[in-house]
Structures are given as structure tokens and as C-alpha cells.
Chains A and B, each alone.
Chain A
Amino acid sequence: MEMIQAALGWLPMWLQVLMMIVLKIVVILIPLMLSVAYLTYAERKVIGYIQVRIGPNRVGPIGLLQPIADAVKLIFKEIIVPAGSDKLLFLLAPILAMAPALAAWAVVPFQPGMVLADVNAGLLYILALTSMGVYGIIIAGWASNSKYAFIGAIRSAAQVVSYEIAMGFALVGVLVAAGSLNLGQIVLAQSGSILHWFWLPLLPLMVVYFISGVAETNRAPFDLAEGESEIVAGFHVEYSGTPFAVFFLAEYANMILIATLSAVLFLGGWLSPFQGIPGLAEGALGAPSMLWLFIKVAFFLFLFLWFRATFPRYRYDQVMRLGWKVFIPITIVWLLVVAGMVVGELPPWFA
């Protein structure tokens, strides 16, 4: 880092700062985009094996180059802008879906001290940005001038805002437990041992948060915005080529984001599961590391794929019922329980 900074020393100060920020962002973005690409590969492989087939295996060894081939193919496809559409909004929508999915990563801590923007309102920022993604979907549905897209868009809007509430309450629960909005502080508040992580005192909130996350990313079994057996492909029915690819990337980036946040908020982020166990905690196993975070993220991502292979899509009334009549009461009750535990300084978490 210092070396790069020195090499940039001849530039004006503001440009130096900007260059450093851009560099860091690129360092986050490139692995992220690669993860997105290979998440699509992992999805096809995992679901393929669940469905007694082998998934992609033609492009490169065991199909490893498939995501690259897909990207190249989509770039060389024609972009069709339907005649009756609002052309500006039609093309703006994928960008609006993409930007928040990526920008939310600014406050995600990967390791102690390793975060792009160590802001105190991290959680608030996350809450704001994860709900921004739905604008892309609504605008896409409206701009397409297709009934299927329109139905998909209003469904998606109602669904996302419904689960936003349960998600918000779950986040407040985490806040109460950690006493900070800063994601790094939240991780540190969970140090101690695997039992100190928030998954134990906040178990109902973790379940609600993750399922709401699945609903917010419009993934199966909550993929009503693109329910293909009724509204064909929903909001992106008219999209082709790279605009479609951008929606696709945004969806997968959001999946990784939700998985990462679940790991950070409830499974101790970068903390080692062997922390606090005598005999294991002393060595490298007990040390906090980015690798632990990645393992936890992979676990949640696998859940995403597993859900998709084994659950039918909910009907719309069932989705709304689950969000409003199950999740919101659960979170309100558990919020009070957590607050009570914090005020009562219940050991071992809140002593």
C-alpha cells in the first residue's frame, strides 16, 4: 500500500486519495466479480448433482470456463430495446440494480481493520442499499411495456418492502446486542467463542434475516418476480444481451452480500470457530482470518442453492402472509427479548 502511495506521490493530493480509493475498490470488485461468475457455475453444478445430472462440463476442464463463455456470449448478443418501452429507463434499470449491489460492499469488513469505509453508520447504509436494488426491478418492469414484466415488478416491489420490515427489525436486534452500527464493532462484540456469536441469542432473528434476505434477492422459493410458470421471466422478460447479464450479476452479487452479512452479523464474521477452545485456540486455527469469513459465506450460499433445488415457489398470498403475519411478530417479540437480555446483562453475551 505504502509503495503504491509513494509511486503516486507526484500527483496532487486529492487525486492521490482518489486513486488509492479506486485501487482498493478494484481490489474488492475483481474477486467479487469472479465470485459472482463462479457462483453461477457452482449453482449449476450443485443443482445439477441434486437433480441427477452433471451440470456444465464442456467448456474447459469440468466446465470451469463456462461462466467466462457465458459472459462472452452475452456480450456478443444483440441488445433488444422493445418498441413500446421507455428507452432511457429501460437501459438505466440494470445499472440501478447493479450499483447498490456492488456499493454495499464498501462497509463490509473482511478482517480486522480491513474495510474500505470504516463508517459508524455501516448497518444503516447496508439497510438503505439493499432496499435500493428493488428500484432497478420496478423500473425495468415499468419501462419494458410488457404485462408480464409489469406484474413481476409490482409483485417484487410489494414483496421486497414487506420483507424489508422483518429484515429491519432483525437488524435492530443485532444492534441492540452489539451496541454499535459499525460492522467491525459488531463482529468484535461476538468474540469469545463459537457460543458468543450472535446466532445463539438471536437465533430466530438469524433465521428471519436470512430468509428475508432470500426474499429480498428474489431467489427461489421467493422468486415470484420472475415466476416462469406464470409470468414467464417477470421483470426481465424483455431483456437480452448485456442488460440481462447485468441483472443477473446484480442478483448474484446480492446473494453473496446477504450471505456475507449473515455471516458478519450472526456467525462472527472473520472470527475463528475454535476461539476459546483450549488447545485449539492458540495456533493458527484460533486466529481471526478472512478465510473463516469465506467459509461461513460459502455455507450460506450453499443454502441459497439448496433452497432453489428443493422448494417450490410460494404463492403470492403465502409470501405476504409469511412476511407480515409470521416474521414481523417473531422479530418484534424477539427484539424485546434481546433488549431484556441486554438490560439484564445476561451472561455470557451481554455481561
Chain B
Amino acid sequence: MLENYLPILVFLVIGALVGAVFLIAGFTFGPRRPDAQKLSPYECGFEAFEDSRMKFDVRYYLVAILFIIFDLEIAFLFPWAVALKEIGMFGFLAMALFLGILVIGFVYEWKKGALQWE
């Protein structure tokens, strides 16, 4: 069972290696002549004058929170989906109820304006 997952692990390592090989090739073959102008961040021709790691809009943060809720729901749905043929009507109704509750929450968010970007 678990040996099936070994290729995946190897693939992940190789995938990272491919990226690393490219970077190493670039560092090996490319020139390196840095100067202050070249290394300064791009600001459309101006000099950067403040740190770019600033606070950002809270709505982005809100999206992340909503995402966690919904993604968890999806994770709950996975086993149900696989087993739906066995559990039949009862499973369907149970999940319909679950989805119903989810939809109520979704509608609440919608009406609250959490999905409003304007």
C-alpha cells in the first residue's frame, strides 16, 4: 500500500531538483556584475523610498479565513463522495442537510458583505 507512495516522494524531490539545477546553471553560466542601480527594486524609474512589506487590505485576509471553512467542507465531502453508492439514499439526505447548513452560512456571509469587493 504505502510503497505506492514512494514514487510520489521521489518525484517531489526530483521536481525540486529540476528547479535547483536551473538556478545553479544560471549562477554558473550567467555573468555577475551587480551594482547599486541594478540591485535596487523596480519602481518605474524612481528610487524605492519605503519598505514594501506593508500592511495590506483586510479583505484579502477575510478571503483566506472563508477559504479555510470551505476547504474543510470539501475535505469532509471526499469520503462521502467515494462511498455514496454504498450508503445510498440515507447518505444523500444526510449530505444534503450538511450542504444545506453550509449554504446557510454562505448566504449569511454573502448578505453580510464579506464577498463584496467594491
List the interface of chain A (C-beta within 8 A of B).
Answer: 17-18, 21-22, 24-25, 29, 74-85, 91, 94-95, 97-103, 105-107, 116-119, 124-125, 142, 144-151, 154-155, 157-158, 161-162, 164-165, 168-169, 171-172, 175-176, 179-181, 232, 237-238, 241-243, 245-246, 249-250, 316-317, 320-321, 324-325, 328-329, 332, 335-336, 339-340, 342-343
* A316 touching B117 in the complex, CB below 8 Å, given contacts A80-B38, A332-B102, A336-B96: yes
Are A243 and B23 neighbours in the complex by a CB distance under 8 Å?
yes
Q: How far is the CA of A124 from the CA of B75 in the complex (A)?
A: 9
Q: How far is the CA of A82 from the CA of B43 in the complex (A)?
A: 12
Are B52 and A99 neighbours in the complex by a CB distance under 8 Å?
no
- Residue numbers in B under 8 Å from A74 (CB-CB): 26
Q: How far is the CA of A265 from the CA of B4 in the complex (A)?
A: 21
* A325 touching B15 in the complex, CB below 8 Å, given contacts A83-B40, A161-B63: no
Q: Determine the interface band of chain B, counting residues with CB < 8 A from chain A.
A: 35 or more
Chain A contact surface mostly: helix
A-B contact pairs, 10 of them (CB 8 A): A17-B6, A25-B11, A76-B29, A82-B40, A83-B36, A103-B15, A165-B67, A316-B117, A324-B115, A325-B115
Are A98 and B18 neighbours in the complex by a CB distance under 8 Å?
yes
- Residue numbers in B under 8 Å from A21 (CB-CB): 6-7, 10
Q: Which of A83, A98, A324 contacts B39 (CB 8 A)?
A: A83
Q: Which residue of B lies closest to A350 (CB)?
A: B85
Are A119 and B4 neighbours in the complex by a CB distance under 8 Å?
yes
Are B53 and A335 neighbours in the complex by a CB distance under 8 Å?
no
Q: Which of A99, A105, A118, A180 contacts B19 (CB 8 A)?
A: A99
Chain B contact surface mostly: helix
List the interface of chain B (C-beta within 8 A of A).
Answer: 4-8, 10-12, 14-16, 18-20, 22-23, 25-27, 29-34, 36, 38-44, 48, 51-54, 56-57, 59-60, 63-64, 67, 70-71, 74, 77-78, 81-82, 84-85, 88-89, 91-92, 95-96, 99, 102-103, 106, 110, 115, 117-118
- Known contacts A99-B19, A321-B115, then 10 further A-B pairs from the complex at CB < 8 Å, ordered by chain A residue: A24-B7, A29-B18, A77-B26, A79-B32, A84-B48, A147-B52, A158-B64, A175-B82, A179-B81, A238-B41
Are A76 and B15 neighbours in the complex by a CB distance under 8 Å?
no
Are A102 and B18 neighbours in the complex by a CB distance under 8 Å?
yes
Are B42 and A237 neighbours in the complex by a CB distance under 8 Å?
yes
Are A95 and B99 neighbours in the complex by a CB distance under 8 Å?
no
Are A25 and B10 neighbours in the complex by a CB distance under 8 Å?
yes
Q: How far is the CA of A102 from the CA of B54 in the complex (A)?
A: 33
Q: How far is the CA of A24 from the CA of B7 in the complex (A)?
A: 9
Q: How far is the CA of A79 from the CA of B29 in the complex (A)?
A: 10
Taking the nearest CB of chain A, how far is it from the CB of B9, in angstroms? 9
Are A165 and B74 neighbours in the complex by a CB distance under 8 Å?
yes
- Residue numbers in B under 8 Å from A332 (CB-CB): 99, 102-103, 106
Q: How far is the CA of A176 from the CA of B44 in the complex (A)?
A: 51
- Residue numbers in B under 8 Å from A95 (CB-CB): 16, 19-20, 23
- Residue numbers in B under 8 Å from A154 (CB-CB): 56-57, 60
- Residue numbers in B under 8 Å from A328 (CB-CB): 70, 106
* A335 touching B51 in the complex, CB below 8 Å, given contacts A80-B39, A146-B41, A180-B82: no
- Residue numbers in B under 8 Å from A151 (CB-CB): 56
Are B22 and A245 neighbours in the complex by a CB distance under 8 Å?
yes
Q: How far is the CA of A241 from the CA of B25 in the complex (A)?
A: 10
Are A162 and B63 neighbours in the complex by a CB distance under 8 Å?
yes
Are A75 and B15 neighbours in the complex by a CB distance under 8 Å?
no
Q: Which residue of A lies closest to B3 (CB)?
A: A17
Taking the nearest CB of chain B, how far is it from the CB of A137, in angstroms? 14
Taking the nearest CB of chain B, how far is it from the CB of A232, in angstroms? 7
Q: B7, B41, B78, B95: which has the most chain A beta carbons within 10 Å?
A: B7
- Residue numbers in B under 8 Å from A242 (CB-CB): 22-23, 25-27, 30
Q: A106, A125, A151, A342: which has the most chain B beta carbons within 10 Å?
A: A106
Q: Which residue of A lies closest to B10 (CB)?
A: A21
Are A343 and B92 neighbours in the complex by a CB distance under 8 Å?
yes
Are B118 and A75 neighbours in the complex by a CB distance under 8 Å?
no
